[in-house]
């Protein structure tokens, strides 16, 4: 790794989670900057999230070996650092522990966050210069839309370009961003969106799911009137559980009774691997796309704990601060697509899981109770499952268990 007696080349470290490359979103240093050990030098976007890469060397940045926006393989050179004294190298990086990737989000200074010693603060853009773009999400929007940052007006602090600035520029644009013509339709191409980073990872996962998993879907309408009433009764000390937390409790109990749906298919060994415990994934629509952070050991948590984790993980996914481990450890996924105002969905299984349960919107509908038609709050549960791990009887049994728990929540909570 040493170029000369006083220069050291730092390569992109092992990213963990089986990742072999990352897109370099932005440089946090420039040639001539003096940096300390563990100072963040770049933001990279993996298939899981955006992370900062810290330097294992102290010294002066001599060379940046690649440009922002390019894809870098693990082991490829990132920067060359010159040191006036003996090299200081972090042993964890030498061992490839994967702990060198720290933090999430943007390179902008955030309230309460101290800048690491040895790094220079990002200067505000002087009048007449190109406004700065700190957020990787905003940078991605600018690139995908084919916009020139120099033509954008930043309304953030110090001329910072924020997401609203980019969205306004996109909305006001009338000319297509590409002169190409789509061959089949003959229509002009408005723009091209690269399938890279998180978007590419989503595409790869869903494509693999559809190509490998023989999936089937089953669904049932449920009367959630009693569930909502119990939820109101549970409220105390300023806290009331979300409907998703209650449903999560029922799902975990159902998976303990039907473990075939909390499993993996080992195609190489020709085996179905049942898992001991549940890491419950919560599908979240975020600015980066569909992410599924998971509640670890959901089978050991109370309703309050489940509710707290659902809120925390959803907020972290939306802010881009969910960790790679949180985004890749799920064993079963719960999907609340009702928040989009739809009743049902034949969702795609989050590979390598074997099932996903979704809930549609809860709305007043006519329902027969004791022979009378009355207004009740009704929603639809749908289960998509891998037909390799079980047949319809097992899938139907699980779905019916969850549905019965929704319709008779007090009895279900007493049993779980």
Residue positions annotated with a catalytic role: 387
Decide the pairing of beta strands 332-335 and 289-291: unpaired
Helices 392-407 and 225-234 meet at what angle, rounded to 10?
A: 50
What the block records as the tokens of 190 is 């408005």
What the block records as the tokens of 112 is 């309460």
Helix (H, G, I), strand (E, B) or coil at 394: helix
CA dihedral of residues 25, 28, 32, 38 (deg, nearest 10): -120
Question: What does the alpha-carbon distance between residue 213 and residue 387 come to, in Å, rounded to a whole number?
Answer: 8
Residue 181: phi and psi, rounded to 5, are -125, 130
**Closest to 161 in 3D by CA, of 189, 182, 139:** 139
Q: Note every long-range contact of 72-75, with CB atoms under 8 Å and residues 24 or more positions apart, other chains counting.
A: 72/12, 72/21, 72/22, 72/23, 72/24, 72/44, 73/12, 73/20, 73/21, 74/11, 74/12, 74/13, 74/14, 74/15, 74/19, 74/20, 74/21, 74/22, 75/11, 75/12
Question: What does the alpha-carbon distance between residue 327 and residue 55 come to, in Å, rounded to a whole number?
Answer: 25
Neighbour tally for 124: CB within 10 Å: 13
Q: Please check whether residue 82 is in contact with residue 7, taking contact to mean a CB–CB distance below 8 angstroms.
A: yes
What the block records as the tokens of 357 is 């349960």
Question: What does the alpha-carbon distance between residue 18 and residue 210 come to, in Å, rounded to a whole number?
Answer: 21
Helix (H, G, I), strand (E, B) or coil at 163: helix
* Per-position DSSP letters for 295-323, written without gaps between them: ETTGGG--HHHHHHHHHHHHHHHHHT---
Question: What does the alpha-carbon distance between residue 105 and residue 84 come to, in Å, rounded to a whole number?
Answer: 32
**Closest to 125 in 3D by CA, of 111, 143, 148, 108:** 108
């Amino acid at each position: 790794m040493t170029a000369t007696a006083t220069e050291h080349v730092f390569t992109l470290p092992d990213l963990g989670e089986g990742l072999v490359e990352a897109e370099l979103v932005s440089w946090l240093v420039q040639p001539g900057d003096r940096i300390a050990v563990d100072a963040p030098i770049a933001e990279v976007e993996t298939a899981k999230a955006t992370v900062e890469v810290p330097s294992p060397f102290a010294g002066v940045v001599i060379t940046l070996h690649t440009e922002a926006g390019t894809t870098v393989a693990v082991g490829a050179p990132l920067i060359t650092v010159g040191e006036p004294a003996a090299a200081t190298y972090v042993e964890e990086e030498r061992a490839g522990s994967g702990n060198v990737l720290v933090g999430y989000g943007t390179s902008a200074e955030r309230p309460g966050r101290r800048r690491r010693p040895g790094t220079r603060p990002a200067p505000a853009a002087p009048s007449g210069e190109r406004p700065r773009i700190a957020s990787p999400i905003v940078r991605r929007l600018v690139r995908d839309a084919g916009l020139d940052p120099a033509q954008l007006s930043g309304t953030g602090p110090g001329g910072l370009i924020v997401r609203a600035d980019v969205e306004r520029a996109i909305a006001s644009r009338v000319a297509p961003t590409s002169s190409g013509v789509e061959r089949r339709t003959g229509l002009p191409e408005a723009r091209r969106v690269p399938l890279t980073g998180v978007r590419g990872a989503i595409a790869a996962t869903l494509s693999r799911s559809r190509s490998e998993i023989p999936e089937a879907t089953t669904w049932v309408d449920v009367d959630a009137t009693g569930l909502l009433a119990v939820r109101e009764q549970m409220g105390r000390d300023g806290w009331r559980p979300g409907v998703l937390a209650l449903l999560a409790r029922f799902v975990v109990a159902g998976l303990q009774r039907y473990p075939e749906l909390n499993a993996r298919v080992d195609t190489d060994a020709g085996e179905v691997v049942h898992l001991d415990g549940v890491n419950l994934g919560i599908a979240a629509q975020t600015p980066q796309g569909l992410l599924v952070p998971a509640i670890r050991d959901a089978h050991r948590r109370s309703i309050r704990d489940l509710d707290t984790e659902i809120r925390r993980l959803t907020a972290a996914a939306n802010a881009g601060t969910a960790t790679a481990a949180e985004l890749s450890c799920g064993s079963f996924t719960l999907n609340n697509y009702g928040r989009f105002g739809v009743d049902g969905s034949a969702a795609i299984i989050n590979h390598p899981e074997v099932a996903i349960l979704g809930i549609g919107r809860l709305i007043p509908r006519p329902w027969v109770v004791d022979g009378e038609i009355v207004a009740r709050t009704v929603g639809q549960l749908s289960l998509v499952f891998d037909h390799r791990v079980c047949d319809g009887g097992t899938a139907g049994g699980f779905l019916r268990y969850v549905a019965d728990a929704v319709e008779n929540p007090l009895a279900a909570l007493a049993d779980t």
